[in-house]
Structure 1
Amino acid sequence: MRNINVTSKGVEKMVNNVNVTKAIGPDGIHSCVLKEMSKELSDILAHLFQQFINRSTISDEYLPSLEKKPDTCISIPSNYGPVSLTCITCKLLEHIICSNLMQHFKDQNIPNNIQHAFRKYHSCETQLVSVIHDWETSIENWKQTDIFILEFEKAFSTVPHELLKCKLSRYGVRRKNIKLERLDLNTEYAMRGVNGCN
């Protein structure tokens, strides 16, 4: 996979496409402010994003844990879920990395036509429609149709992360490109420590 190069022009375009109705992230910066100052901020954000990518690290301030209930004690680990509320600028960085990964996969002809997860314009719904269509066609043609099990599950939480890292490496994605803590696929990211507990 080629190196990811962040340009101020590209960042400015992304910031101008930000949805201003999105909620304010943990950094307190409203999307309207980013959009209004896109020209002034694009050089700074491009430099910051490039540093994150080059150093394969990201600031902890981008990843605060999200409490389950508003009035719960912050020192009890069970009050937190494995989800992080991210700020808009972090989502922009994620978009840069994701679009580069997807372009690399497209260049390598990696996505299979029957794969529906993690592909643009594909979802569980499109997979279900495709499967039902295949069953219907089979039944209409008087073919034996055996269905053992049909299960749609949250795929990301069940992916063996070490296997995924190995597979990404085999597809030419350098470890440096996926090493950002936010995208490192390790459980430490999902379960932030509270009072020394995980």
Structure 2
Amino acid sequence: MALTRKSSITSSKSSLRTSQDEDEAWTCAKCTKIFKESDAQLMECQRCKEHFCITCLKKTKAKYSMLCKTDAMWFCGKCRIVMEQHAVTDIEIERRCKQIMENFEERITSLEKTVDNKCDEDRVPTPNQVPVTTEMPKQKIKEEVVLKHLSALKIDKSPGMDKLHLRLLKEIAESITKPLCIIFSQSLENKTVPNDWKNAMISAIFKKGNKSLAKNYRPVSLTSVVCKIMEKMMREFIIEHMKTNNLFSKKQYGFIAGRTTGLQLLEVMISGQRH
């Protein structure tokens, strides 16, 4: 960057001289000449921040005046070489990333064509029926399981209509484990749940877009935390029964521990490459 003495004064503390009363001066990094004149004509490297006089740079006053009128960044000889090397490296990285993305898009397009060719809407395969020979046994609510779920509560979540905060339930977990165990057991025995557990507090969560439009909000139901604990225990019973009796399809990837939809996509890609 071309500069004059007036335009190069900086507010940085690091640039202050030993005395604030001393006139600001610059030293040419090449000829080590000190410039104090108000009309000193120097170039400042934007990388190393060194100054160079136009005599050492072999630049005319006309060329210097033209540079003063532009916002172009200027680099000394050594820094220019480094910046050019970095530019070449960045261009190569950008080229390789672009090539990788193009190859990935070609593979996705090829897989889509393969899937379209193999799928026939008129001949949708019927899922294999899995015979159920073992009935789900009657479950017994255990106190240690209830305590485990109470201890695992996240206190930053919101309570339901009953206003029982998760922090409170977690701190008194040992005291309420047995009463909750009795309530859960009675609920299973009578095949019903308390009416308070059926109530929910609905809150509108903003998604994106115009906040004045109702379609840009999604409803969230805040239900009883105690009811959620019982639901989690019931889910664990059902999942364990289905795993024990091999009732899950090998193509089931969602909502099962150890399986994800991403893993399913990976398997489809591998299958497409084999064929």
When normalised by structure 1's length, the TM-score is 0.58
| Partner SS, residue 246 of structure 2 | coil
Contact persistence 2:160–2:225 (CA under 8 A): yes
Change (3 A) 1:83 1:54: farther
Matches of 1:82 and 1:23 in 2, distance apart?
14
1:123 correspondence with 2:239: no
Secondary structure of 1:66's partner? Answer: strand
Aligned equivalent of 2:33: none
1:47 aligns with 2:182: yes
- Deviation, structure 1 residue 68: 4.2
CA distance in 2, matches of 1:12, 1:19: 14
Cα distance, 1:113 vs structure 2: 2.4
Partners in 2 of 1:26 and 1:137 — Cα distance?
A: 54
Counterpart CA distance in 1 for 2:226 and 2:220 is 17
Q: Please list, as runs of the form range in 1=range in 2, the aligned pairs for 1:1-198 lying within 5 A after superposition.
A: 1-63=136-198, 64=200, 66=202, 68=204, 84-138=221-275
Once residues 59 and 82 of structure 1 are traced to their aligned partners in structure 2, the CA distance between those partners, rounded to angstroms, is 24
The structure in which a higher percent of residues are strand is 2
TM superposition shift of 1:103: 0.9
**8 Å contact kept, 1:31–1:88:** yes
Deviations 1:36-72 (A, max 9, x none): 10110000111111111111111232232625479xx
User: 1:107 deviation in Å?
Assistant: 1.4
What letter is aligned with 1:109?
Answer: N
Distance 1:134 1:42, change over 3 A: same
Distance in 2 between the 1:115 and 1:27 partners? Answer: 36
1:100–1:26 distance in 2 versus 1, CA, 3 Å: same
Counterpart contact for 1:52–1:58, Cα < 8 Å:
yes
SS of 2:247's equivalent in the other structure is coil
The verdict on how the C-alpha distance between 1:122 and 1:26 changes in structure 2, with shifts beyond 3 A counting, is farther
Q: CA deviation at 1:87?
A: 1.9
The one-letter code matched in structure 2 to 1:3 is K
Larger RCO of the pair (alpha carbons < 8 Å, separation 6+):
1
Residues 123 and 85 (structure 1), Cα distance of their counterparts in 2 relative to 1, 3 Å cut: farther
Give the Cα separation in 1 of the matches to 2:197 and 2:261.
29
Letter paired with 2:183 = L
* Aligned length in residues: 130
| Aligned CA-pair RMSD | 2.5
Write the letter of the residue equivalent to 2:185: Q
Secondary structure, aligned partner of 2:248? coil
Q: 1:105: how far off?
A: 0.7
Contact 1:117 1:124 in 2 (8 A): yes
Percent sequence identity is: 23
SS at match of 1:96: helix
* CA shift in 2, pair 1:28/1:59, >3 Å: same
